[in-house]
Amino acid sequence: MGRLFFRLILRPLLRDPVRAALTTLAIALGVAVVLAIEMAGDAAAGSFRSSVESLTGDADFEISAPGGVPGEVAASLLRLPEPLEVRPRMESFAEVPESGRVVPFLGVDMVASAPGSSPSGSLGLTSLEDGDAIWLGRAFHRRKGERISLLVDDRVVGFTVAGVLSEQRGEAAVVDLSTADRLLGRHGLLDRILVRVPRTRSLNAWEAFLRRAIPSGLTLEPQGARTRENRRMLEAFRWNLRVLSYIALVVGAFLIYNTISVSVVRRRAEIGIVRAVGAGRAAVLGAFLGEAAVFGLCGSLLGTALGRLMAQGAVRLVGATVQSLYVSSTPAPVMLSANVLVFGLAVGIAISIAAAWLPAWEAAHVAPVEAMARGRVDYQARVHWLRNLLWAGALGVAAYLACLMPPVAGKPFFGYLGALLLIGAMALAIPAMVTLLTARSGRWMARIAGPEAMLAGRGLLSSLRRTSVLTAALATAIAMVIAVGIMVGSFRQTVALWMENQLQADLYLRPALTAAADRHPTLSAAIPDRIAALPEVEAVDRFRAYPISYQGLPATFAGGDTTISSRFGKVQFLGAADRKAIYARMRQGDFAVVSEPFANKHHVRAGDALSLSLAGRTARFEVLGIYYDYSSERGFIVVDRQTMLRYLPDPAPSNVAVYLKPGVSLDRGRAAVERACAGRQVMVFSNRTLREDAIRIFDRTFAITYALEGVAIVVAVMGIAGALLALVIDRRRELGLLRFLGASGTQARRLILFEAGLLGLFANLAGLCLGVALSLILIYVINRQSFGWTIQFHWPAALLSGGLALIFAATLLAGLYPARIAMRLNPIEVIHEE
Amino acid sequence: MPVLTPYPGKRVAVLELDAVSKEYLTDSVRVQALRDVSLRVEPGEFVAIVGRSGCGKSTLLNLAGAMDFPTAGDVRIDGESTRLAGDGALTRLRRKKIGFVFQSFQLLASLSAVENVELPLLLAGVSGARRIAMDRLRWVEMDALHARLPHQMSGGEMQRVAIARALVHNPRLLLADEPTGNLDTATSTSILRLLQRIVECGDTSVLMATHSAEAAAAAGKIVRMRDGRTEP
C-alpha cells in the first residue's frame, strides 16, 4: 500500500516540484502566522504579569485601595499576634533619561527587607545604604557606588547605587519607603501591602482572618489577582488577534482543496484503472487524504520554524499594543514549547485533510467505467451554480441572524460565526458570479481585448469549480483586507472626530514620565496653580486618574473640573444627553459619568449606582451619563474634582489642560506656561501635537493587523501562481492547438495573463462585496461586543483603491511564470500526447 | 451550396520539400524521423501520405505546416522558405496559408462550433470573423448546429467543424493528420468526400496523412513512406 501511495501519489508530486512547493509554502505560512501570534500573545500578554507584579515575590495576599492604603494598616497588621510577613509598598514608574525606558520604581520597607530580616529573599537585596540610595535590577549594569539619574513623575532625581537586586534580572529600581514617599508625594499612603501567612491554617481561613483585621473599604485579594484581572482584560484582544491569524490558514485551506481537486482531475483515468484492478473506495479516499496530509505535515513543519522567526517580530507589535491600550508590561522571551509544536502540526494536518475531504470523497465515489471513459479529457466537476446561489442566500440570512445574537461570556462568538457564514455564502455565490460575468461577455471581451481575453474567460468558465475555489481563496484574503481596512479607517476617523470635540484646550501638560493605561504619573500640584495665575491664561482644568479594579476588571477612576468642562468642553454623551445639566449635577455630590467601553463592559446604564472602595472608604456614585471615549479600553469612571478630593485628597493632577485668553497667541501662551513649569520635567503639547501623537499611537496599535493581512494576501497570491501553473499544464493541449491555429507565443502568454487578470478581477469584486459586509460585522458586532466602542462607518477610499490595485497587480505578477511556461510549450509535443 | 473562394495570385507549388531530413533528440537518443524526403504539392492537388505508425508521416506534416524546422534540406510553403524564418514569421505563415485537421478533432471544449471556427480569424485580427465562420459552417453543412458545444456533437460533426475551422482563412494548404482515424466507415466516407470537394471547389490543396488504404484512395496522388523515407 505504501509503495502504491508513493508511486501513484508522491512520485507525481515530485515531478511537479514548483507547484508542490507553492502549496506546501501556503500551508507553512498559514501555520506560521497562527503559531507566531500564539507565541507572541503568550510572550506579550498570555504569560503576562505587569512589570510591577513581577516584583511581588512569594506573598499570599495583597491589600490595596484606589488612592492608597493608609500606612497605619501595615502597622496594625504587624501588631497582630500572628507571625505574618507584612511588606508595605509604594509603586510607581521611573524613566531612565539616557535610554527613555520606563522601569518599575518601588518603595519598600528597607528595615524589613534588609539582609538578615525575614523577607529579604523576596527582593534579594544585597546591601543597604542611607539617603537617596537605590537598588537596581541587573539589567541596569550598574555597580554599587555609581550615580544614576531617574525621571520620577516630573522631576529628575539623582541616586547612589546601593546594591544590585540579585533575584531580579529585569529593570527595576527600589528605594526605601520613606524616600519613595517623599519623591512620589504619597503622604504616607501605600499602594499595596503584601502579606505572607504561615501554613498553620488554610488560605481561606487566613483570608477571613485578614478581612476582619483591616478596615472595610480596603481590597483584600489573593496574590496574583491583578495578573488574572489583566489576563481577563486582554482576553478579547487576544481572541480577535487569534481569529485574524487564522485567515491565512483558511486561505491555505482553499488552496489545499484546489490542489487535491487538480490531483483528482489529473488522475481520473488512474483512479478508474486502480478501481478496475481491485482497489476499493476507501483506498482511493485514503490516497488523496494521504496526499493532503503530506502537504499538511511538510507545511506544518516548515511553518513551525517560520512561526518561531515571525513571533520575534510579532511580539514587538503585540507588546506595543498591550502597552498602549492595556497595561505596562515587558514581553517575556518567545518560547517554542512542545505544546505549540504539537498544536502547529495538528492544525496544519487537520485543516489540510478537512480541505481535501470533498474532492477526495468525489474521487472515491466516481464509477470506474466513467473515470476511464475517454472523450472528455478535461473532467469538469458539475457545479450547480443556481442551487449554490440559493444556498449562498440562505447562509447570508443565517449570518444576519447570527449577528443579532448577544455575546457569549463577553466574547462575540456569534459575530465570528456570522463572518464565517458570510465567507461560506461568498464561496457558494462565486460560481454564479463567474458564470454570469463570462458566459455572455465573450464577444465584447474579444472585441475589446482580443481573442485571448475571450479564450481566458471561456477557459475559466469551463473549469468553473477550480476558478471558483481560487477566486474564493483570494477573495477571502481581499475581503479581510477590506473589512479590517474599513474598520480601522472608520475607527481612525471616529477617533479623529472625537478628538476634535474632546481636545478643546490650547495646551496640554503632563509629567515627562510617559503615561500608560495603567500608570498615571503626576505633576506637582503647584504647577497648575502657577499657570492659572498667568495673565495669558483663561482657565486650567486639572485631571487626576487612578488605576482601579471594578468587578474584577481593571478600570480608571478620575476626577476633572466640571465647571471648566461645562464651559469649554464638547464631550458627547450617548443618547444626546444634556451635557451642561450633567456637569451641573456632578458638582452637587456623589455623581459620576462613565465612558462607553466601561458601560458596555460592566452593563452600566444612566441611573445605575457604582460602589467603589476609595482610600479605605466605600463610596457610592450615581451614573448620570455615558460619554463617548476612545482613549482607553479599560474604561473611565469620572467624577467632579471636588468630589474626588473628598475621597482622595492628593491634589497633584495627572495632566492639565490650559485655555488661553482670547487674543493670546499660542507661542506666547506656551512660553508663559513653560516658564511656570521651570525646574520640573513637564511636557507641554499643543492641541495639534497631541492629536498627531494620538493618531501615531493608533496606527502603531493596528500595525499587527496589517501584517497579518499581508501574509494572507501573500498566501493567496502564491496559490494563484500555483494554480495557474497547474492550469497551464492541464491545458497544454489547448495552448498547443492554438499555436497550430495561428496563435503566436505572445498570444499564448497573454491568454494566461488574462486568466490571471480575470481571476484577480473576480476576486477583487467578490472580496469587495464580502469585505464591506464583514466590515459591518466587525464594526457593529465584534468590536462592540469585544471592546464596547461605537465606531462611525467611513470609507477609506484611498486605502481601499490602492490596496485593491496592489493585489490586482500581484495577481498579474503571479501569472508571469505560468505564462512564460505557456509561451515555451512545444505545440507538437503536447498535441502528440493526445 | 456555397463555393470556396479561389486563391488569387500566380500558380507556384503550394508545398515543396527539398531533400528534407529531420532528427530528434528524445531522452538523449537520436531519432531520424525523416531522411532526405522531397515532395511537391501543386495547387488544387489532393495528396495522401501513406505508411505505418512511426514512419514519419506526422513529422512531415509538422514541417509542411511550419510548426517545425528541418534538420537539413528546405521546406517552401507557397514559395516561402521556412528555413530562415523566425517564430513570428512562421506564425504569420500558418495564419495565412495553412489549415490543420487532426485525428481527434481538437476542438476547444469551452467554445461553440462557430466560435471554434472563427478562432483562427480572431487570432489573426481579421474583421468580420463571425460572418466568414458561418459561411464556412454552411459549406460543411454544420450551420444549423453552430451554437453547439463540442460535447453536444458526434465525431463526424466535430470533424466537419474542424474542417470548417481549417478552411476559415482560405488557406493554400490543408494538412489532415489521420482525419478519419476516430470515425466509423460511413462518417469517414463523408469526411473524405468533403476533403475532395475542397480541392474541387478552389485552389486549396490537401495533404493527408493516413495509414488506411481506403482513405488514401480518395486522394489524387499517393506517396508511400517507410522508415522516414518516401518510396518511389
Contact B62 A828 (CB under 8 A): yes
Instruction: State the Cα–Cα distance between residues A483 and A426, nearest whole angstrom.
Output: 14
* Residue A631 in grid coordinates: 482613549
The average confidence (pLDDT) of chain A is 82
Q: Report pLDDT digits (tens) over B47-78.
A: 999 988 888 898 999 899 888 888 999 999 98
Query: Does residue B9 come out as left (phi exceeding 0), alpha (psi in the -120 to 50 range) or beta?
Result: left
A529: pLDDT confidence band, cut at 50, 70 and 90? very high
* Residue B19 in grid coordinates: 531533400
CA distance A727 to chain B (A): 14
B165 touches chain A (CB under 8 A): yes
Instruction: State the Cα–Cα distance between residues A38 and A35, nearest whole angstrom.
Output: 5
CA distance B120 to chain A (A): 5
Q: Report pLDDT digits (tens) over A164-197.
A: 876 554 568 889 888 998 888 888 888 889 898 8
Contact A831 B106 (CB under 8 A): yes
Contact B68 A461 (CB under 8 A): no
A446 touches chain B (CB under 8 A): yes
Contact A375 B124 (CB under 8 A): no
Q: ∠A63-A646-A682 over CA atoms, to 5°?
A: 80
Contact B110 A743 (CB under 8 A): no
A441 touches chain B (CB under 8 A): no
Q: How far is CA A300 from CA A22, A347, A712, in A?
A: 14, 8, 16
A449 touches chain B (CB under 8 A): no
Instruction: State the Cα–Cα distance between residues B191 and A52, nearest whole angstrom.
Output: 92
Contacts of A376 in chain B (CB under 8 A): 109, 151
Q: What percentage of residues in chain A have a pLDDT greater than 70?
A: 89
The yes-or-no verdict on residue A508 having pLDDT over 70 is yes
Q: Report pLDDT digits (tens) over B201-210.
A: 877 899 999 9
Contacts of B68 in chain A (CB under 8 A): 828
Q: Is B173 helix (H, G, I), strand (E, B) or coil?
A: strand
- Residue A583: per-residue pLDDT: 93
Q: What is the DSSP string of B16-38?
A: EEEEEEEEEEETTEEEEEEEEEE
Contact A740 B119 (CB under 8 A): no
Contact B108 A828 (CB under 8 A): no
Instruction: Name which of A79, A93, A100, A107 is nearest A178 in CA terms.
Output: A107
Contacts of B88 in chain A (CB under 8 A): 744
Instruction: State the Cα–Cα distance between residues A460 and A447, nearest whole angstrom.
Output: 18
Across the interface, of B88, B111, B165, the residue whose CB is closest to A458 is B111
**Counts for chain B of helices (H) and strands (E), in that order:** 7, 10
- Residue A56: per-residue pLDDT: 57
Contact B62 A742 (CB under 8 A): no
The yes-or-no verdict on residue A126 having pLDDT over 50 is no
CA distance A419 to chain B (A): 35
Per the CB < 8 A criterion, the answer to whether A21 and A292 are in contact is no
* Residue A344 in grid coordinates: 502547529
A458 touches chain B (CB under 8 A): yes
Phi, psi angles (nearest 5°) of residue A334: -75, 130
Instruction: State the Cα–Cα distance between residues A212 and B128, nearest whole angstrom.
Output: 100
| Most distant CA atoms of chain B, gap in Å | 53
Instruction: State the Cα–Cα distance between residues A221 and A590, nearest whole angstrom.
Output: 27
Contact A741 B102 (CB under 8 A): no
Contact A455 B124 (CB under 8 A): no
**Which of B26, B119, B182 is best to mutate for the A interface (most A CBs within 10 A)?**
B119
- Residue A111: per-residue pLDDT: 62
Per the CB < 8 A criterion, the answer to whether A408 and A414 are in contact is yes
What is the ipTM score, two decimals?
0.78
Residue of higher predicted confidence among A297 and A814: A297
Contacts of B66 in chain A (CB under 8 A): none
A462 touches chain B (CB under 8 A): yes
Across the interface, of B88, B119, B165, the residue whose CB is closest to A744 is B88
What is the arithmetic mean of pLDDT over A286-298?
Answer: 90
B100 touches chain A (CB under 8 A): yes
The yes-or-no verdict on residue A116 having pLDDT over 60 is no
Q: How far is CA A512 from CA A96, A541, A654, in A?
A: 11, 18, 11
CA distance B84 to chain A (A): 17
Q: Report pLDDT digits (tens) over A192-235.
A: 898 988 888 888 899 999 988 888 778 888 877 666 666 666 67
| Interior/surface letters A466-479, b for 16+ CB within 10 angstroms, e for the rest | bbbbbbbbbbbbbb
Contacts of A827 in chain B (CB under 8 A): 67
- Residue A329: per-residue pLDDT: 64
Residue of higher predicted confidence among A761 and A280: A761
B56 touches chain A (CB under 8 A): no
Contacts of A459 in chain B (CB under 8 A): 110
What is the arithmetic mean of pLDDT over B163-169?
Answer: 91
A741 touches chain B (CB under 8 A): yes
Contacts of B95 in chain A (CB under 8 A): 742
Instruction: Name which of A417, A423, A482, A464 is nearest A713 in CA terms.
Output: A482
Q: Report pLDDT digits (tens) over A637-677.
A: 999 999 999 988 888 999 899 999 999 999 999 999 989 88
The yes-or-no verdict on residue A337 having pLDDT over 90 is no
Q: List all residues 6 or more positions away from A64 whose beta carbon is below 8 Å from its beta carbon.
A: A191, A192, A193, A218, A219, A221
Contacts of B157 in chain A (CB under 8 A): none
A407 touches chain B (CB under 8 A): no
Across the interface, of A461, A745, A828, the residue whose CB is closest to B68 is A828
The yes-or-no verdict on residue A570 having pLDDT over 50 is yes
Contacts of A739 in chain B (CB under 8 A): 67, 91
Nearest residue on chain A to B114, judged by CA atoms? A443
Contact A742 B120 (CB under 8 A): yes
Contact A742 B124 (CB under 8 A): yes
Instruction: Name which of B146, B151, B157 is nearest B182 in CA terms.
Output: B157
B58 touches chain A (CB under 8 A): yes
* Residue A448 in grid coordinates: 475589446
Across the interface, of B58, B123, B151, the residue whose CB is closest to A741 is B123
Contact B100 A741 (CB under 8 A): yes
- Residue A231: per-residue pLDDT: 67
A positions 745-784 inside 8 Å of B (CB) = 745, 747
Per the CB < 8 A criterion, the answer to whether A631 and A695 are in contact is no
What is the arithmetic mean of pLDDT over A560-587?
Answer: 88
What is the arithmetic mean of pLDDT over A557-582?
Answer: 88
CA distance B136 to chain A (A): 16
CA distance A270 to chain B (A): 21
Contacts of B163 in chain A (CB under 8 A): none
Q: Report pLDDT digits (tens) over A246-286.
A: 877 777 787 788 778 777 777 777 787 777 777 778 888 88
Contact B108 A734 (CB under 8 A): yes
Nearest residue on chain A to B54, judged by CA atoms? A832
Contact A450 B122 (CB under 8 A): yes
Chains A–B, number of C-beta pairs less than 8 Å apart: 68
Contact A446 B122 (CB under 8 A): yes
Max avg pLDDT among A58-62, A326-330, A490-494, B145-149:
B145-149
Contacts of B94 in chain A (CB under 8 A): 740-742
